[in-house]
Every structure is written in C-alpha cells, then in structure tokens.
C-alpha cells in the first residue's frame, strides 16, 4: 500500500499472485475494484485467465461516455493519472486528471476530518474547479469516503462514485451470461488479505459489518 505509487512491474506481480489464488478457488469472475490495476495491468492480463475479469475504469467509462456532459475531471492516484486511462477511455470528453497521492493515506488513517487533510483536499479541489468540470470522477476506491469533505467546497452531485455504475454493469453482464446465483442461494463472505489482518478488521468497519468476523491465518 498504496498501489498508486507502485511501478508497472510490481503491479503485475501483485495482480498475477492474486489472480492465481482466485483461480485455485474456482471463481467465475474477478472484479478489479482498483483504478490503478485496471489502468496499468488489465491489458497485460485480460486473456491469461479462465474467469471473467471486470476492470473498473474500462467498465464504468462505457456508461460515463454516454452522459450528457462534455468536461470531466478525474481525481486519481499517480499511477492512474500517468496512464491516462480515463482520458483514453473517454475520447469524446474533455478530461482533466489530477493526482492526489496523499488521499489514500488520509482515508486509511481515518484522518479526513483533520485540518491538514481538509487543507490538502481543498487544495486539489480548488485546482480542479478552475477547469470548470461538469462532473468529477472519484477515480480511486478510497476517494468516495472523502465525499463529505469535498462537498463542503463543491456541489455533492458533481462527484461521480464509479462503484455505483460498476456494480450495476457487472450485475447486468453476469445476468446476460446466466452466471447470477439464484436469489434463494445462501452465501458466505470471505476476505483474504496479504498482510496485517488485524488492521483490515479495523479499517473494514468503514464499509462492512465485521463485528462477527472470524480471523483465520494461513
């Protein structure tokens, strides 16, 4: 962590290890819920595994390109910005991409309400608003957790949380391929982390009920 500061070779290495693990679990699909890996490694790995692979950026931009707006701002990690993945996948829009290298750490440390974090968030947003965007994509999985802070300085509806578009597109595709489980099926949520599972339980409370979590070590 954070992925947004890793080079291409490192990102490919991490992704291959994760995908090999998923393949051993006989999964039917893998969601690349990371803008950085979608931007940097998807094209390299998309045809090397048997499961369906859903890259975040390439999936959501199919919907965003049809929105009735012309100017799109993107807040993302340095790796995503340097790849110009959003700009390349939105050729019919005018796109401005700004890297926010500290934002992931702000969310991970749950320090978004501090004066220092607020200053950094406001600084990037002020720079973006000079572009006069119609919409601003929060182009990192962590960034939607900063929506309340961002909304102090710009209308809340200007921000796009890609995950909302992403989930809908994945569901529609799985349904079209007859890969959805029946609604009566009972599932079990399992989270596998590469290190520091205790910290994952703490940070995981931001987005998931982990009160009854059972921690197993490999």
Least confident of 1-5, 157-161, 171-175: 1-5
**pLDDT at residue 74 is higher than 70:** yes
Token code pair at residue 194: 């590469």
**Distance separating alpha carbons of residues 218 and 216, to the nearest angstrom:** 7
- C-beta of residue 81 within 8 angstroms of C-beta of residue 98: yes
For residue 47, give its domain range: 3-57+166-204
Catalytic residue among 34, 100, 171, 213: 34
Please say if 100 is a catalytic residue: no
Q: Give the model's pLDDT for residue 88.
A: 96
Least confident of 79-83, 138-142, 185-189: 185-189
CA-wise closest residue to 31 among 50, 53, 12, 13 = 53
Residue 42: half-sphere exposure toward Cβ, Cα within 13 Å? 21
- Residue 217 is assigned to a structural domain of this protein: no
**pLDDT at residue 10 is higher than 80:** yes
**What are the φ/ψ torsions at residue 176 (nearest 5 degrees)?**
-65, -25
Catalytic residue among 100, 140, 171, 213: 140
Q: Give the model's pLDDT for residue 150.
A: 97
Beta bridge partners of 138: 75
**pLDDT at residue 213 is higher than 80:** no
- C-beta of residue 41 within 8 angstroms of C-beta of residue 15: yes
- Complete edge-to-edge strand list for the sheet that includes strand 94-99: 94-99, 71-76, 135-139, 159-160
User: Which of the four pLDDT bands, split at 50, 70 and 90, describes residue 195?
Assistant: confident
- Residue 179 is assigned to a structural domain of this protein: yes
* Residues 197 and 122 occupy one common structural domain: no
CATH of the domain at 21: 3.40.50.1860
Specify the residue for token string 């959003």.
86
* Residues 110 and 157 occupy one common structural domain: yes
Q: pLDDT tens for residues 25-71?
A: 999 999 999 998 999 999 999 999 999 999 999 999 999 999 999 99
**pLDDT at residue 196 is higher than 70:** yes
* Residues 63 and 158 occupy one common structural domain: yes
Q: Give the model's pLDDT for residue 203.
A: 75
% of the chain residues with pLDDT over 90:
71
Q: Give the model's pLDDT for residue 108.
A: 84
Please say if 34 is a catalytic residue: yes
* Residues 174 and 199 occupy one common structural domain: yes
Q: pLDDT tens for residues 13-29?
A: 999 999 999 999 999 99
* Residues 17 and 109 occupy one common structural domain: no
Token code pair at residue 110: 């749950």
In angstroms and rounded to an integer, the radius of gyration of the C-alpha atoms of the chain is 18
* Residues 47 and 97 occupy one common structural domain: no
Count of structural domains within the chain: 2
* Residues 155 and 112 occupy one common structural domain: yes
* Residues 83 and 137 occupy one common structural domain: yes
Q: Give the model's pLDDT for residue 201.
A: 77
Q: pLDDT tens for residues 84-121?
A: 999 999 999 999 999 998 999 899 888 988 999 999 99
**Distance separating alpha carbons of residues 99 and 158, to the nearest angstrom:** 18
CA-wise closest residue to 72 among 96, 99, 98, 39 = 96
């Amino acid at each position: 962590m954070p992925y947004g500061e890793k080079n291409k070779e490192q990102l490919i290495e991490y992704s291959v290890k994760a995908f090999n693990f998923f393949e051993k679990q006989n999964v039917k699909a893998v969601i690349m819920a990371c803008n950085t890996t979608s931007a940097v490694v998807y094209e390299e790995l998309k045809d090397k595994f048997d499961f369906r692979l859903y890259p975040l950026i390439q999936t959501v931009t199919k919907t965003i390109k049809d929105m009735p707006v012309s100017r799109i701002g993107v807040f993302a990690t340095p790796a995503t910005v340097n790849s110009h993945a959003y700009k390349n996948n939105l050729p019919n829009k005018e796109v401005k991409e700004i890297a926010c290298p500290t934002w992931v750490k702000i969310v991970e440390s749950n320090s978004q309400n501090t004066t220092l974090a607020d200053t950094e968030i406001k600084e990037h947003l002020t720079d973006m608003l000079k572009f006069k965007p119609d919409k601003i994509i929060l182009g990192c999985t962590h960034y939607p957790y900063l929506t309340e802070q961002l909304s102090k300085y710009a209308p809340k509806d200007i921000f796009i949380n890609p995950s909302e578009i992403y989930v809908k597109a994945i569901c529609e595709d799985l349904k079209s391929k007859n890969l959805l489980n029946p609604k009566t099926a009972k599932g079990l949520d399992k989270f596998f982390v590469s290190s520091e599972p205790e910290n994952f339980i703490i940070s995981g409370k931001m987005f998931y009920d982990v009160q009854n979590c059972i921690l197993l070590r490999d």
